[in-house]
Amino acid sequence: MSELAVNVKNLKYKYPDESWALKDVSLEVSVGESILLLGISGVGKSTLLMNLNGLLTPTEGTVQIFGKKVVEKNLKEIRRRVGFVFQNPENQLFCPTLWDDVAFGPVNLGFPPEQVEERVEKALKLVGLTTYAEKAPHHLSFGEKRRAAIATILSMEPEILLLDEPTANLDPRSVENIIKILREISSKGKTIIIATHDVNTLPQITDRTIIMYNGKIKAKGHTKELLADYEILEKYGLKLPIIGQLFHKLESDHKLSFDTSLPITINSAEQKIMELINRNK
Ligand SMILES: Nc1ncnc2c1ncn2[C@@H]1O[C@H](COP(=O)(O)OP(=O)(O)O)[C@@H](O)[C@H]1O
Ligand SMILES: [Mg+2]
């Protein structure tokens, strides 16, 4: 079996006000996988992510990262290997310049100046913000702040990247930028877990989807299959991706059948439509 990046067993998490945000979650993620952690608001996605890098520690059960348990004595190593991009980029940007913010992690990890420089340049290049290095982060647009926040994590070169709602509140161009960045990171063999309720954009870049509801994992499967499953999505308060909605409507209104797989991306829809056109020529 391939090496496990993340191994969560029977994880339960209770906030200090006694509310159970996670109720028995078990999950395995292999090295290099990209995972969509999907669910409506309040189901425990952020709480789960925070348990994966030790920002929170399990009330019951265990979390292992590359075989190392998330406990106090391993936290330093785990934080280095697992990067967390917060939903609000402003939580991640606090230095006078973008350069300083991106350098903050590697400096703290004790890298010598030339390596810090190399890492900062690499991270800024990947997110397309090289020319903004000397800018004050609070002067950046929201989309740029998101990319800047990703760069502050990339400069630490984590093996696992956790992203909380990375496309929330972004305009279409900025969403495209994020998708491109995540694709590139994923192609470098990093393990990525993306928490979101966005069924339209992020499925494109994830192999596997996990649906959460009420503090539990309710469904797991290939993104292409799970995101085309009307019943499961509806059951947990979610919707088919917009393309899938169209094909589902065609099926139910016109008694059509698109075999097993409902198209959920523009490319698969295009292919399906061309098949239909060619069949009827
Ligand atoms: N700091 C907190 N104290 C108490 N309850 C919290 C806290 N943060 C989140 N919760 C509760 O835990 C549940 C899961 O929250 P969260 O993990 O933020 O869900 P999601 O990210 O899926 O929206 C929610 O019911 C939420 O109200
Ligand atoms: Mg959340």
DSSP string, 127-193: TT-GGGTTS-GGGS-HHHHHHHHHHHHHTT--SEEEEESTTTT--HHHHHHHHHHHHHHHHTT-EEE
Q: Decide if pLDDT at 1 tops 60.
A: no
Measured distance CA(58)–CA(51) in Å, rounded:
7
Query: What percent of the chain is predicted at pLDDT more than 90?
Result: 85
Whole-number mean pLDDT of the chain?
94
3-state secondary structure of 111: coil
From 18, 43, 86, 238, the mutation candidate for ligand 1 (largest count of ligand atoms within 8 A of CB) is 43
The secondary structure element, H or E, covering residue 49 is helix 45-52
Q: Ligand 2 mean position to 3 CA, how many Å?
A: 28
Q: Which domains does the chain have, with CATH numbers?
A: 4-237 (3.40.50.300), 240-281 (no CATH)
Contact by Cβ (8 Å): 67, 97: no
Pocket around ligand 1 at a 6 A CB cut-off: 15, 17, 19, 21, 39, 41-47
Query: What percent of the chain is predicted at pLDDT more than 70?
Result: 99
pTM for this prediction:
0.94
**Tens of pLDDT along 63-114?**
999 999 999 999 999 999 999 999 999 999 999 999 999 999 999 999 999 9
* Dihedral of the alpha carbons of 161, 76, 25, 58, in degrees to the nearest 10: -150
Contact by Cβ (8 Å): 39, 45: yes
**Tens of pLDDT along 191-207?**
999 999 999 988 778 99
- Confidence label for 57 from pLDDT (cuts 50, 70 and 90): very high
**Which ligand 1 atom is nearest residue 195's CA?**
21
Q: Decide if pLDDT at 151 tops 90.
A: yes
**Which ligand 1 atom is nearest residue 165's CA?**
21
**What local confidence, expressed as pLDDT, does residue 257 receive?**
77
**What local confidence, expressed as pLDDT, does residue 208 receive?**
96
Q: Ligand 2 mean position to 198 CA, how many Å?
A: 12
Which of 22-31, 49-58, 232-241, 267-276 shows the lowest mean pLDDT across its residues? 267-276
In 174-275, DSSP assigns E strands to: 191-196, 208-213, 216-222
Q: In what order do the strands lie in the sheet with 191-196?
A: 82-85, 160-164, 191-196, 34-38, 208-213, 216-222
Q: Decide if pLDDT at 258 tops 80.
A: no
Which residue owns the Cα nearest ligand 1 atom 24?
Answer: 42
Q: Ligand 1 mean position to 83 CA, how many Å?
A: 20
**Which ligand 1 atom is nearest residue 17's CA?**
4
Mean pLDDT of 260-268: 83
Contact by Cβ (8 Å): 32, 190: yes
Mean pLDDT of 11-19: 97
**What local confidence, expressed as pLDDT, does residue 25 receive?**
98
In 44-117, DSSP assigns E strands to: 60-65, 68-69, 82-85
Select from 163, 37, 171, 180 the least CA-distant residue to 88: 163
Q: Decide if pLDDT at 125 tops 80.
A: yes
